[in-house]
Amino acid sequence: MKKALGIIGIFAAIFIVACIFGENFLTGINLMQLTQRAALYSILALGASLVIVTGGIDLSIGSVVCLAGIMTPWLLVEHEWAPAQVIPTVLLMSAFIGLCHGLLVTRLRLQPFLVTLCGLLLYRGIARWMTGDQTQGFMGEFGEVRAIALTKFAIPGIENYRIPSTVIPMIVLAVLIGLFFSRTVWGRWLLATGRNESAARYSGVPTAWLVTMSYVACSLLAGFGGMLFIFDIGSAQPSDFGNFYELYAIAAAVLGGCSLRGGEISVIGVVVGAATLQVLRNTIILVGLSSQLEFAVIGAVLLVGVAADELIRRFNARRLERTGAAASA
């Protein structure tokens, strides 16, 4: 929780700016769409944080999003599979990708950066080759499947705002991962492995297995996220769908308090981190800044945010030290 305070502060600041300067920011439909986007990116960011906690990194998230997202309509529309076959197939494929990463990292001891960078190139390449660079879409059909990501639940008493269905898997995942790290033995082991692999190994923790499972979970969530993304958007092009999503996911995780050295995580932080990025993008348009400036503004705001967070933290630490000294003198 404490680690998440910084990003919560940044989020709050952006939110307030958006309320004051953004046209129609605080309307139900805008908040609804923001919730949807935040939920989708959170799922990816949670996956990324599972690998980051082991001290690794997964650069292939965006490409797995692409492959899983492209395969879904491709199998449904071009190959006329039933949805009940497609969804498990795509998820299994994603998990298998993660398994390969995990085994290459733990058994062959290759650097995670390199393995998943190859993955980044490979899976997008496969998606492009498979579809011949053709946009894949649902052609206006499969409404009942796409409802998984498109349903909105009304809240009694509140108008305009309805809860997007993607929030459900996001919350379930966040709670599960939170409990995993705070309450279960395996979560504990994973934290120890991330910080000091040999200490964990010497304590009898099956580190290789745990790290492999983290990669599996990360890719599985990326594949799941990719499916939700395509349900939401309706169609995608293999050559650009999911581009850079790994950076958004990793950025959200790191903003949310994960250290790339491993062994640290804050689930709330990660979710808020993912939401922050989406609110920021939305704010830029609603405030009326030119979309050319979007990147520059995101970069600048994040940088100022984390720097301010660090300075505040230091200031507090110093004050604590001083008052602590006074008390004991």
Q: Per CB under 8 A, does 328 bind other proteins? A: yes
Q: Per CB under 8 A, does 312 bind a second copy? A: no
Question: Shortest Cβ distance from residue 304 to other proteins (Å)?
Answer: 23
Q: Which of 115, 200, 222, 265 binds a second copy (CB under 8 A)?
A: 115
- Which DSSP state fits 77? I
* Angle ∠(79,82,88) on CA atoms, nearest 5: 100
- Choose the binding region for a second copy from 16-24, 138-146, 216-224, 293-301 (rule: CB under 8 A): 293-301
How far apart (Å, rounded) are the C-alpha atoms in residues 225 and 215?
15
Number of shown-chain residues binding other proteins (CB under 8 A): 75
Signed CA dihedral, 312, 317, 318, 324: sign only: positive
Q: Per CB under 8 A, does 117 bind a second copy? A: yes
Which of a second copy, other proteins, none is residue 247 near (CB under 5 to 8 Å by kind)? a second copy
How far apart (Å, rounded) are the C-alpha atoms in residues 80 and 86?
10
Q: Per CB under 8 A, does 265 bind a second copy? A: no
Beta bridge partners of 162: 154
Residue 220 contacts residue 47 (beta carbons within 8 Å): yes
Question: Shortest Cβ distance from residue 321 to other proteins (Å)?
Answer: 5
Q: Per CB under 8 A, does 315 bind a second copy? A: no
Cβ partners under 8 Å of residue 150, min gap 6: 164, 165, 231, 232
| Identity of the residue, 57 or 191, whose beta carbon is nearer to other proteins in the bound complex | 191
* Angle ∠(145,147,152) on CA atoms, nearest 5: 170
Please name the residue that has the structure tokens 């939305």.
Answer: 282
| Identity of the residue, 96 or 201, whose beta carbon is nearer to other proteins in the bound complex | 201
How far apart (Å, rounded) are the C-alpha atoms in residues 33 and 223?
21
| Identity of the residue, 96 or 294, whose beta carbon is nearer to other proteins in the bound complex | 294
How far apart (Å, rounded) are the C-alpha atoms in residues 179 and 53?
15
How far apart (Å, rounded) are the C-alpha atoms in residues 162 and 183?
32
Question: Shortest Cβ distance from residue 271 to other proteins (Å)?
Answer: 18
Which of other proteins, a second copy, none is residue 188 near (CB under 5 to 8 Å by kind)? other proteins
Q: Which of 5, 9, 27, 130 binds other proteins (CB under 8 A)?
A: 27
What does the per-residue mask of binding to a second copy show for 9-48, with x meaning CB under 8 A?
Answer: ----------------------------------------
CA nearest neighbour of 103 among 126, 119, 86: 119
Number of shown-chain residues binding a second copy (CB under 8 A): 46
Cβ partners under 8 Å of residue 126, min gap 6: 67
Q: Per CB under 8 A, does 24 bind other proteins? A: yes
CA nearest neighbour of 197 among 180, 214, 182: 214
Residue 163 contacts residue 155 (beta carbons within 8 Å): yes
Q: Per CB under 8 A, does 117 bind other proteins? A: no
Q: Per CB under 8 A, does 264 bind other proteins? A: yes
Q: Contacts with other proteins in 182-241 (CB under 8 A)? A: 182-186, 188-189, 191-196, 198-209, 229, 232-241
Binding site for a second copy (CB under 8 A): 59, 104, 108-111, 113-115, 117-126, 128-129, 132-133, 247, 250-251, 254-255, 259-260, 290, 292-300, 302-303, 306-307, 310-311
